[in-house]
Structure formats: C-alpha cells, structure tokens
C-alpha cells in the first residue's frame, strides 16, 4: 500500500495510480499516516510538493524522523522548484517533474520499490568483518561482540546500511539523533571517535573522514 | 529517537550479553560516585518508572521529612563494565534523580549541569570541555607510614622497568572500551604522577566520563597492586595534581570562540566569556577546589595558578589561550587551570559555564594579557596592575562563595546551602587539628 500526500491527492496522480493498479491512501498529516498504516507498513510514499511545498517538506521531515525503517520516497515537484531539492537529499529517494508523464512516474515508482525492498527487510547488515543483527541489536567485529551505547549502535547501523555514501554532520545528527539533542553537531565527531576506538585499530578505517564534508562508511562507491 | 527504542536496546543487550547485575550510578553533592545495584529482572521497571530510594542516606540529598527520591536511568549511558568478571558481566547506567512527583531533584548535581546545558542550548550554544587529569600511583598503602610513589620517573620519562606505563596502557584501553576517548597520556613531573588528557565532548557527557575515569583508574590500579589517588597535593615539595579544563562554545558546527580577524583569533564572545571566568573565579573556587588540601597545590613555584590573569603562553596565569594547531578554528579554546581532580565535575563545569555566560550576558571587558611570569613580580606591582589572587585557603574560598549570588543561583539553593554547611564543618575539623608541622617546630623550642 502506497502513502500519498496531500489529501485529496491531485486528480492526475490519483488516476495514474489507479490505472497502474496500485493500492494507495491519501493522508493530510503524519498522524493520519500512522492511523491508517497497514500491518506490513507502507511500501512507499508519493508526496506532491507542487501545491504546498512547505507542508510537503515538513511532512517528509516528520516521516523520516518517525519511521523505524527507511521508507522509499518519491517527490513530485514543478520545474521551477529544482533548487528546493538542495539540502533536502535526505528527505527523498527519487523525484519526478510535474506535470508528469504517467508511464514515467510508474517506471520510477517501480524502480524505487524494487531497489530498496531487499535491503530494508533484512535483519542482518554485514560489511567485511562487521556484522549487525538488527533484530537483537547485537554487533560484532571479527566475531567478537561490540559493546556500544544505544546512540553508538544507531550511528553505526545507519552508516553500515549506507556504505560508500558521504554524510555531513548535520545529516547524521538529524537522521540518527533527531533535532532536539543538545550535544550539538560535534557530538557526531565524538561518537565516531568512540566507534573507531571500539572497532579497534585494525577496523577503525571502516569509518572514513571526508575532509570538510563529513563521514563515509567503507570504500567510496566510485573508487575500486 | 524515541525513549522506547532506547529502552528496548538496553533490555535486549542485557539479555543477549547475559548481564547479571546492573549498577545504577549517580553522584552526591561532593562528587562521590554512588551505586544502586539491581538485578536484570528489575531493569524494565527501573527504566520505565525509576527506582525509589531513601535519599536521606546520601550526603547532601533530601532532608528526612522528604526522604524518598527516584533514580531514573539515562539509557544512553548504558555500558557493560569492562573490568568485571567476563563470565558474569555487569553493566552500569547513569541516573538522573527526581522527586516522587517527577520534577528534577534539586540536590542532584547531574540535574544542575543538565539545566545549564539546556539554557545554553536555548541560546543556540553547546558547551564543550576537555580535561587534563593528573593523579598519582603509590605502592599499596601501609597505615601510619608515608606513601611511596610507584616510580621515580619525571616528565615524559620512559623508564626501563615501566610499571606505570603498563598501568596507564591498561587504563586507557579500559577507558576507550567505555567510550571515553583519550588524547594523550604521559608521565608527569613528580614521582608516580601521571597525566591523561581526554578528548572534548559536551560537558554533561564529560562529567559522566570524569566519574567513570576516576573509578576506572582506581579499579585498574588496585587490580595491579597499586594505589591511585586524585588527592590534589599528596606529597610535599613536588607539584600537585590539577585538572586543567579546556573550554569552548559551539554554535552548530562553528566554534563561537574563533574569530579569524582578531590578533588572538578570539571572538568577542570568547573574550567576554574569559572576562566572566576571571571576575568570578574566586567565587567558584570553593567548588573547583573543594578540599583543605586543594589549597596546598595552589601556591607559587609548582606550576599551579595563583593569580587572576590570562595569557597565551604563560603557564603562571589562571587562564591560558593555547595556540591552535595549524590555525584550526575548531581548536580555539580557553584552558582554565585552577580546578583539581577531586572536584565534583558536574558542579565545577556548571559554574565555569555560568561564570563565562555571565561575562557574555553583561558584556564584561577583558583585562590585558599578562605575559610576564607573575611569580617574579611583587604583590604591590600586581595590585597596581589590578591583578588579584585566588583564595588561599578553603575558609577564604567559602567566605567568597557565601557572598556570591552567581554561585547561589547557578547551584540552586539546596546544593548551595548544603555545600557551604558541609565544607564549614570540614574547615572547623581542620582548624582544630594539631599537625606534625607544629609539633616539630614548637614542641622543643617553645
């Protein structure tokens, strides 16, 4: 079941989804989304940002903060709105210019849902010598258990689920901690330093510092 | 992150790792670590509702008529204790103390620091600290005999039979396992004296870390046949143990103390903060240096500060502005040099922040840098320059604190009153003590 924002959905979007045979539900708030969430969770979200951009971004921010698992998001924007995507890359996975061609939206949607599903549903995250069991919250490096605080675990989990991607401190702070934390952005450095110490010298390089940007887990996707 | 996920993580870890005992840690007004041990079966309940205990049994906590208080674990501080029995693992978690109605308990030092961190946060600021902690290793103590330092090493010495090096190494490994990052460690100036410098974190996390640090150092020393002490001046004639604290304020990713256009690379905020610290230093000294013995360290000639001054490279002043490596804006900071490692870190950090913030709020003007060696300048000249001194005894420090509205407000009435009362008693006990010094000097000659 797809989550659609806002309610009512734009007629063109509703028609495309219906013709494509998708089941969907339009909502006007995250509370709505929570109330109507199917047992298996939402498969993905389509957010129309052309009519009320402010409301749409706020909705996505709230969704990202609440969701336990990564919810695939596709956002519909007008051609003049492309600059709005800057600094918001953590809020969506895919976008489509609106007015859209129905078959393009369908193709993008299909691509988005097929790509992510396998990763999200797995309980184990493995990378080199590192193993995270998301079911039991236990982690090990070279088969030795890692003792971590909850936030250290959450940070490592987030990084390990997105290997090769560079994240700024702000993104990590907002995605892992949420905005309310009063430790400030340097908190990310403190936790990375702790994680490296706990991973041990041999594996500390799993978390790379990307100078004047932030951090990356594992090797870059673009280097061999 | 919801508190439920925190809780689930802790409960699940206890189960998966077979933890047998969970220690609920908190700190009394004088900075002593207190612990309430519970079985894992009780943990779920403790995380949800807290654990009730009789606060009147803890120094500086509640009065008898309102005895019961509530310890509520801070789940993000949950850690397996690495020095215990591997087969019967133990864990610890720091607690905030609350009244039974759920309001923060006024006698809890951790709540005091939490309040100051929140106030700074509301102004968009985060307070970061990094302490350099000094301490001594002695041979196991023999009652009635003078303590024997574990080695005769000096500053940065690498001795051949390096017992202390090995002890330090084990300690650092343990600290890192508990999430306390160490920046440097070395042999200090005096025999048996060590220094371990911690990497900066926000002040609340650091206060927790200092509490863990003191326990870990003592614990590992004891397991290896040595006695570690944070007493400020354990040996006469050599330098004492200080806890220099590096301070900075950040606005998000930016260091609020840095200004590239200033000749010192210090922002107006940094200067006003420093002015606040300098002006209020005498008032907060009873807390940063809380024992009778503390004032035997704060004397000229042993690398400890005496004068209320600041400088870049002069280590005789109260505040040093270290030159940042490679002009790194993030490393611009102030080093406040008077505290000793026997203080209550929650209260000491709270007062440093309060004194500095007062300077910022009121726009205090920073006096000129004092780059001469102040120990070589006569008192009259210093007076002309307007350079005062830190209190020279616990009694003097308490008198200054008693007149301080800043300290009263920053600590809250409960802790302020209790601290003064308790320390007055300590001073009275000391005053009536007849020491070996007096007997040696007077018994035969008078």
Among residues A182, A176, A108, the alpha carbon closest in space to that of A192 is found at A176
pLDDT (0 to 100) of residue B66: 64
pLDDT in tens, B200-209: 999 999 999 9
Verify that A161 and A85 share a domain, yes or no: no
* Contact between chains at A153 and B179 (C-beta distance less than 8 A): no
Q: In this structure, is residue A143 part of a structural domain?
A: yes
When mean pLDDT is compared over A139-153, B52-66, B81-95, B338-352, the highest value belongs to B338-352
Specify whether the CB–CB gap between B205 and B113 falls below 8 A: no
| Cα nearest neighbour of B121 on chain A | A182
Backbone angles phi, psi at A129, to 5 degrees: -85, -5
Q: Is the domain of A93 the same as that of A146?
A: no
In a domain, A84, yes or no: yes
Q: Hey, which residues does B110 pair with through a beta bridge? A: none
pLDDT in tens, B210-248: 999 999 999 999 999 999 999 999 999 999 999 999 999
Same domain, A101 and A66: yes
**Statement to judge: residues A10 and A85 lie in one domain:** yes
CB contact under 8 A, A186 and B126: yes
Chain A environment of B6 (Cβ under 8 Å): 150
The enclosing domain of A149 has a CATH number of 1.10.10.10
**CATH code for the domain of A22:** 3.40.50.2300
CB A140 within 8 A of CB A153: no
Residue ranges making up the domain that contains A108: 2-121
| B95 φ, ψ (degrees, to nearest 5) | -120, 150
Which of A121, A147, A172 is at the close of a domain?
Answer: A121
Q: Is residue A25 part of a domain?
A: yes
Could you give the percent of chain B with pLDDT greater than 70?
96
Reported CATH class of domain B115-438: alpha beta
A128 shares a domain with A90 = no
Cα-Cα-Cα-Cα torsion B95, B100, B103, B108, nearest 10 degrees, comes to -40
Contact list, B93 vs chain A (CB under 8 Å): none
- Per-domain residue ranges for chain B? 3-99, 115-438
Q: Check residue A221 and give its pLDDT.
A: 54
Chain B residue numbers touching A149 (CB-CB < 8 A): 76-79, 179
Q: Which of A85, A105, A121 is the last residue of a domain?
A: A121
Residue A173 domain flag: yes
Q: Are A28 and A91 part of one and the same domain?
A: yes
Tens digits of per-residue pLDDT, B288-305? 999 999 999 999 888 899
Residues A112 and A9 in one domain: yes
A57/A90 same-domain check = yes
Name which of A150, A170, A191 to mutate to probe chain B: the one with the most chain B Cβ atoms within 10 A of its Cβ: A150
Asked if the structure places residue A82 within a domain, the reply is yes
A-chain residues near B9 (CB < 8 A): 137, 150, 153
**Number of domains comprising chain A:** 2
Mark out chain B residues that contact chain A at CB-CB < 8 A: 1, 5-6, 8-10, 12-13, 16-17, 75-80, 82, 117-118, 120-121, 126, 128, 176-177, 179, 181, 199-202, 204-205, 250, 252-253
Q: Is there a single domain that holds both residue A159 and residue A64?
A: no
Q: Is residue A204 part of a domain?
A: yes
Asked if residue A105 and residue A21 are part of one domain, the reply reads yes
The last residue of one of the domains, among A79, A103, A121, is A121
Q: Which of A66-80, B67-81, B140-154, B374-388 has the lowest mean pLDDT?
A: B374-388
Question: What does DSSP say about strands A73-77 and A94-97: parallel, antiparallel, or unpaired?
Answer: parallel
Alpha helices per DSSP H over B265-317: 268-288
A144 and A196 housed in the same domain:
yes
Question: ipTM higher than 0.85?
Answer: no
Architecture, CATH, for domain B3-99: Roll (3.10)
A104, A168: one domain: no
A133 within a domain of the structure (yes/no): yes
Q: Is the pLDDT of residue A121 over 50?
A: no
**Residue A223 included in any domain:** no
Average pLDDT over residues B129-139: 95
Q: Which two tokens stand for residue A20?
A: 């494509």
More confident residue, B382 or B104: B104
């Amino acid at each position: 079941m797809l989550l659609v924002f806002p309610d009512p959905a734009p007629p063109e979007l509703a028609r495309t989804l219906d013709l494509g045979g998708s089941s969907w539900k339009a909502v006007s708030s995250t509370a709505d989304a929570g109330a109507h969430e199917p047992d298996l969770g939402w498969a993905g979200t389509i957010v129309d940002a052309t009519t009320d951009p402010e409301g749409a971004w706020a909705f996505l921010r709230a969704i990202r903060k609440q969701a336990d698992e990564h919810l695939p998001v596709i956002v519909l924007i007008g051609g003049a709105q492309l600059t709005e995507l800057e600094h918001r890359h953590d809020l969506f996975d895919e976008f489509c210019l609106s007015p859209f061609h129905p078959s393009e939206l369908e193709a993008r949607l299909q691509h988005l849902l097929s790509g992510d599903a396998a990763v999200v549903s797995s309980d184990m995250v493995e990378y080199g010598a590192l193993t995270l069991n998301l079911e039991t919250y236990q982690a090990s490096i070279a088969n030795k258990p890692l003792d971590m605080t909850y936030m250290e675990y959450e940070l490592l989990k987030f990084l390990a689920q997105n290997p090769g991607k560079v994240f700024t401190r702000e993104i990590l702070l907002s995605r892992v901690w949420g905005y309310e934390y009063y430790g400030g952005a340097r908190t990310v450095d403190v936790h990375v330093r702790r994680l490296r110490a706990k991973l041990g010298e041999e594996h500390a390089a799993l978390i790379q510092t990307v100078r004047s940007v932030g951090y990356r887990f594992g090797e870059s996707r673009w280097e061999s | 992150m919801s508190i439920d996920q925190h809780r689930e993580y802790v409960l699940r870890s206890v189960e998966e790792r077979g933890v047998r005992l969970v220690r609920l840690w908190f700190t009394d007004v004088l900075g002593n670590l207190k612990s309430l041990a519970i079985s894992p079966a009780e943990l779920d309940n403790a995380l949800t509702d807290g654990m009730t205990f009789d606060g009147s049994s803890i120094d500086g906590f509640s009065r008898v008529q309102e005895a019961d208080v509530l310890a509520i674990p801070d789940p993000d501080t949950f850690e397996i204790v690495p020095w215990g029995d591997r087969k019967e693992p133990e864990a610890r978690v720091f607690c905030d103390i609350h009244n039974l109605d759920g309001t923060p308990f006024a006698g809890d030092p951790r709540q005091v620091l939490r309040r100051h961190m929140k106030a700074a946060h509301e102004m968009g600021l985060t307070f970061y600290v990094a302490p350099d902690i000094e301490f001594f290793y002695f041979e196991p103590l023999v009652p009635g005999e003078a303590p024997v330092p574990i080695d005769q090493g000096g500053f940065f010495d690498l001795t051949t039979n390096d017992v202390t090096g090995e002890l330090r190494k084990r300690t650092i490994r343990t600290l890192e396992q508990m999430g306390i990052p160490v920046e440097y460690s070395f042999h200090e100036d005096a025999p048996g004296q060590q220094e371990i410098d911690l990497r900066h974190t926000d002040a609340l996390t650091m206060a927790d870390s200092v509490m863990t640090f003191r326990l870990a150092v003592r614990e590992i020393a004891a397991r290896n046949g040595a006695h570690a002490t944070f007493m400020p001046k354990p040996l006469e004639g050599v330098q004492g143990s200080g806890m220099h604290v590096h301070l900075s304020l950040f606005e998000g990713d930016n260091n609020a103390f840095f200004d590239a256009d200033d000749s010192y690379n210090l922002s107006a905020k940094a200067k006003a903060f420093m002015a606040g610290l300098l002006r209020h230093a005498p008032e907060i000294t009873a807390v940063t240096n809380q024992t009778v013995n503390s004032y035997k360290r704060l004397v000229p000639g042993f690398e400890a500060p005496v004068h209320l001054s600041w400088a870049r490279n002069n280590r005789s002043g109260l505040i040093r502005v270290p030159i940042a490596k490679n002009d790194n804006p993030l490393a611009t900071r102030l080093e406040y040099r008077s505290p000793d490692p026997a203080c209550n870190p929650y209260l000491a950090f709270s007062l440093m922040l309060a004194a500095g913030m007062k300077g910022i709020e009121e726009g205090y003007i920073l006096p000129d840098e004092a780059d001469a060696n102040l120990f070589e300048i006569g008192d009259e000249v210093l007076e002309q320059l307007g350079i005062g001194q830190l209190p020279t005894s616990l009694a003097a420090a308490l008198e200054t604190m008693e007149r301080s509205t800043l300290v009263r407000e920053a600590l809250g009435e409960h802790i302020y009153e209790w601290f003064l009362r308790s320390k007055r008693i300590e001073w009275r006990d000391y005053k009536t003590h007849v020491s070996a010094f007096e007997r040696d000097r007077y018994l035969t000659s008078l």
